[in-house]
C-alpha cells in the first residue's frame, strides 16, 4: 500500500493511500491551524468556525449538507484541537466525488448566516455548560491553564460564553481567511481511491481557496510555567492530574517520552496500574500520557479515586516516578515497543485511522513516515536514556497539579515540591 503525494500549483497538498481491497474511502481536509492560532480576542473562534462550516453554503442549506452525505450512507464530521482542525468524511468508493464536493463547499462557500450563527452559539454554550458539569473535562482544562498560565495555548478550546456570544460573521471569516490557506491545508484520502483521479477532483473543487498570505500566521512561543489549582466539589470521587514539561514533536526525546508514558501508565501491565490499582486498590482509574506540540509538550498522570485515598495515593505515585528514574527493565521497553507497533499496524487496517495518521505526519514532518522508520526511531531507545529522561522530566521541572472533587486531603503543594526534588528518598525520610 503505497502513499502518493502531489503538491498543486496553488500550494495545496494532496495525499492518498490506495487500499484497493476496500469498498470505502476515508477522506478529509486537515488544516495546520487550531485554537492556538487565535488572537487574544478570538478565544473559541476556531471551534465556532468548525461548527459554522456545516450551517449552510451558497449552494446548500445545513439540512442539504447532512442529507446529501447520508443519502448515500456516508458520514461527515469535524474536530478542532490546539494546533490543527480537520473536516472528514467516509463514503463508499462510488461517492468519493460527492464527499470531495461537500468538503470543498463548506470550506470555500460557507454563508455564515446570522440566524444560523445565533443558533449555533446557543449549541456551543450548552457544550461549554456540559463540559463544566463533567469533572474529568474540567480537570484537564484547569491543567492546561495552569501549565501554560496566561497563554493562548493553555486556554480551553471551546472558549467562554462571553467570547462565543461576541463573534460576528465578519470576525469568523477574518480568522478563516488568515488561517485556512493552501500552504497550511492537506487533503488526504485512504481506501479505494485512485490518486490521479482524486487529485483532479481536489484541484477542480478547491480552486478558490486563498493561497499563502504575505506574512504567514504565527502564534506566541509557549512557556511552560507549572503550578497548582484545586477545586473542592461535592462529588463521589476526586479527579487528579499531575504533570511536567514534556517534549515537542521534533525534540530528540519525543519518542522516548512516549515509551516512558507507556511503561508508567500505558495499560493494565504498566507500573502505575499494577502498583496503584491492582496491588493497593487506591483508585479505579490511573494512566500516564504524553502530549507533543510544535514547540513544547506535557507529560501527565491522571488518577480518579475516592477522596479518602488521596493521602496514600500521591506518595505511591511519587515513589513510582522516582523508581522510573533509577531502574527500568528491558522487557518493559520491549512491551511498550510491541504496543506501539501493534497500534501502527492496526491503524493500517482502518482507512479513517490511516488518513488521519498520514495527515498528522504531513503537518508535523512534511512527509509520510513509513512504519519501518517509526520503529527504527523506537529501537534506539535504551534503559539509560529512559532513566535519564525520567530524572529530568520529574525532578528538574516545576510540577503541574490540577484536582477537582473531595480534594481536602490532597497533599499540600510544598510537600509535592519536596517529594519531587532531586534529593534521594532516603534523605527525605531522614529529614522528615
pLDDT tens digits for 295-311? 999 999 999 999 999 99
Confidence check: pLDDT of 431 > 70: no
Cα angle for residues 88, 247, 356 (degrees, 5° grid): 15
Classify residue 168 by burial, with Cβ atoms within 10 Å: 0-12, 13-18, 19+: exposed
> How many Cβ atoms from other residues are within 10 Å of residue 429's Cβ?
8
Confidence of residue 430 (pLDDT cuts 50, 70, 90): very low
Cα angle for residues 72, 90, 78 (degrees, 5° grid): 115
The residue annotated as part of the active site, out of 50, 68, 83, 120, is 50
Q: Do 110 and 57 contact (CB within 8 A), yes or no?
A: yes
pLDDT tens digits for 203-245? 999 988 877 665 666 778 999 999 999 999 999 999 999 999 9
**Nearest Cα to 164, choosing from 78, 82, 39, 43?**
43
Confidence check: pLDDT of 432 > 50: no
Q: Where are the alpha helices (DSSP H) in 210-350?
A: 254-265, 271-272, 310-324, 330-348
- Does residue 321 come out as left (phi exceeding 0), alpha (psi in the -120 to 50 range) or beta? alpha
d(CA 390, CA 384): 10
Beta-carbon contacts of 426 under 8 Å, excluding residues fewer than 6 positions away, are: none
Sign, CA dihedral 385-391-394-397, equals negative
pLDDT tens digits for 25-77? 999 999 999 999 999 999 999 999 999 999 999 999 999 999 999 999 999 99
The pLDDT assigned to 279 comes to 97
Confidence check: pLDDT of 179 > 50: yes
The pLDDT assigned to 344 comes to 87
pTM score, two decimals? Answer: 0.93
Architecture of domain 227-431: 2-Layer Sandwich (3.30)
Note if 38 is an active site residue.
Answer: no
The pLDDT assigned to 112 comes to 97
The CA distances from residue 181 to 184, 200, 223, 266, in Å, are 6, 19, 27, 37
**Nearest Cα to 101, choosing from 210, 202, 185, 211?**
202
Taking residues 84-101, report their average pLDDT.
Answer: 98
Residues of the chain with CATH 3.30.830.10: 3-205, 227-431
Could you tell me the three cell numbers for 370? 513509513
CATH 3.30.830.10 describes domain 3-205: yes
Amino acid at each position: 500500500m503505497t502513499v502518493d503525494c502531489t503538491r498543486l500549483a496553488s500550494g495545496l497538498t494532496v495525499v492518498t493511500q490506495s487500499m484497493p481491497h476496500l469498498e470505502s474511502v476515508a477522506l478529509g481536509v486537515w488544516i495546520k491551524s487550531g485554537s492556538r492560532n487565535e488572537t487574544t480576542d478570538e478565544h473559541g473562534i476556531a471551534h465556532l468556525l468548525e461548527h459554522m462550516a456545516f450551517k449552510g453554503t451558497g449552494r446548500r442549506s445545513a439540512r442539504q449538507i447532512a442529507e446529501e452525505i447520508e443519502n448515500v450512507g456516508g458520514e461527515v464530521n469535524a474536530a478542532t484541537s490546539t494546533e490543527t482542525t480537520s473536516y472528514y468524511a467516509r463514503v463508499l468508493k462510488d461517492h468519493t466525488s460527492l464527499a470531495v464536493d461537500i468538503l470543498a463547499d463548506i470550506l470555500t462557500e460557507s454563508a455564515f448566516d446570522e440566524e444560523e450563527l445565533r443558533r449555533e452559539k446557543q449549541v456551543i454554550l450548552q457544550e461549554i455548560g456540559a463540559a463544566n458539569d463533567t469533572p474529568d473535562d474540567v480537570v484537564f482544562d484547569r491543567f492546561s491553564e495552569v501549565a501554560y498560565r496566561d497563554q493562548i495555548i493553555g486556554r480551553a478550546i471551546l472558549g467562554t460564553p462571553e467570547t462565543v456570544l461576541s463573534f460576528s460573521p465578519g470576525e469568523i471569516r477574518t480568522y478563516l481567511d488568515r488561517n485556512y490557506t493552501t500552504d497550511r491545508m492537506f487533503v488526504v484520502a485512504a481506501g479505494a481511491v485512485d490518486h490521479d483521479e482524486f487529485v483532479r477532483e481536489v484541484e477542480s473543487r478547491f480552486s478558490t481557496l486563498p493561497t499563502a498570505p504575505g506574512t504567514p500566521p504565527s502564534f506566541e512561543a509557549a512557556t511552560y510555567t507549572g503550578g497548582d489549582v484545586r477545586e473542592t466539589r461535592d462529588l463521589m470521587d476526586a479527579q487528579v492530574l499531575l504533570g511536567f514539561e514534556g517534549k515537542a514533536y521534533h525534540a530528540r526525546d519525543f519518542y522516548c517520552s512516549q515509551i516512558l508514558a507507556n511503561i508508567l501508565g500505558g495499560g493494565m501491565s504498566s507500573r502505575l496500574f499494577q502498583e496503584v490499582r491492582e496491588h493497593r486498590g487506591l483508585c479505579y482509574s490511573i494512566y500516564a500520557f504524553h502530549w507533543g506540540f510544535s514547540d513544547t509538550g506535557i507529560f501527565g498522570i491522571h488518577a480518579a479515586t475516592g477522596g479518602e485515598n488521596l493521602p496514600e495515593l500521591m506518595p505511591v505515585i511519587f515513589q513510582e516516578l522516582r523508581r522510573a528514574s533509577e531502574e527500568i527493565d528491558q522487557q518493559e521497553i520491549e512491551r511498550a515497543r510491541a504496543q506501539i507497533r501493534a497500534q501502527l499496524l492496526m491503524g493500517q487496517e482502518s482507512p479513517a485511522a490511516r488518513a488521519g495518521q498520514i495527515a498528522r505526519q504531513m503537518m508535523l514532518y512534511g512527509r509520510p513516515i513509513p512504519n519501518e522508520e517509526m520503529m527504527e526511531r523506537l529501537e534506539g531507545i535504551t534503559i539509560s536514556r529512559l532513566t535519564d529522561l525520567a530524572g529530568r522530566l520529574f525532578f528538574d521541572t516545576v510540577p503541574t497539579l490540577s484536582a477537582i472533587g473531595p480534594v481536602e486531603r490532597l497533599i499540600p503543594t510544598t510537600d509535592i515540591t519536596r517529594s519531587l526534588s532531586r534529593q534521594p528518598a532516603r534523605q527525605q525520610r531522614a529529614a522528615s
